[in-house]
Structure 1
Amino acid sequence: MAERTLRGARLGGQSFEDERGIEFAARQQVGYKCKQGHEFEVTMSVEAEIPAVWECPRCGAEALSTAGILPEEKVEKPARTHWDMLLERRSEKELEDILKERLELLRGGEIGPAHLHRANKKKRVS
């Protein structure tokens, strides 16, 4: 059993492979600078598409590329309100008609809170 154990190897430790004869991928250093003034470089492949924004390792803010690459402008949709969505389904004329109809039903006591119905019934009976 003692013959099968690995001696001298650490978990997550060193590789026993030799680096001779290995050709590494071409790399480049890309510089970034954040709003706080921190400057740093990131090593990337020559073939990689260089991002315009990178997170600063010191403060976590967005850092812009010093190579002059500008971030793409995102087109933001304006916020849709309830009124905008309502107007997608009905015209203002239709909404006015519905409002008039509902107000008549409310004033007639056919719809609305129960305490309003009771008050209207007492007035009618008296």
Structure 2
Amino acid sequence: MSERSLRGTQLGSRSLESDVGVEPAPRQVVEYACEDGHTFTVPFSVEADVPATWDSGTHGIGMRVGGEEPEAEPEKHVRTHWDMLLERRSFEELQVLLDERLAVRRGEAPLQS
């Protein structure tokens, strides 16, 4: 170790600044309720967009008390490999390619590079 290193100051765990004259940002406390009746509060900045749901960590997802119901997100269509292949080639083109590859596998046609 270097002779100039700071030993024993725990620089990573403690701040050397004092809290004198520091004022925290204005906050609002929002209450959430889980389906099992458990309620908990979460502090947010007054400027924050407060979400309609919040995970309590132990009881599951809680709904905002006195808030609006969250909008259902539209289901996203899952694109399969077949869907993506059909975006690039028509079914007729795929049939021609399949016939060519089968002929190569059967030894009926020479392999093309």
| Distance in 1, Cα, partners of 2:29 & 2:103 | 74
Q: Residue type matched to 2:32 in 1?
A: Y
Query: Which residue pairs with 2:107 in the alignment?
Result: 108
* Matched ranges for 1:30-109 at <5 A: 30-56=30-56, 59-108=58-107
What stretches of structure 1 move > 3 A for 4+ residues in a row? 15-18, 43-48
TM-score (norm 1): 0.56
Q: Counterpart of 1:40 in 2: which secondary structure?
A: strand
**% identical aligned pairs:** 45
- Deviation string for 1:12-68 (max 9, x for gaps)? 7xx6748xxx8x83x5442211123211223444443222112215x1511110113
Q: Residue type matched to 2:65 in 1?
A: T
| Distance in 2, Cα, partners of 1:72 & 1:87 | 33
- How many pairs are equivalent? 95
Greater fraction helix: 1
Give 1 or 2 for the bigger CA radius of gyration.
1
Q: Residue type matched to 1:87 in 2?
A: L
TM-score (norm 2): 0.61
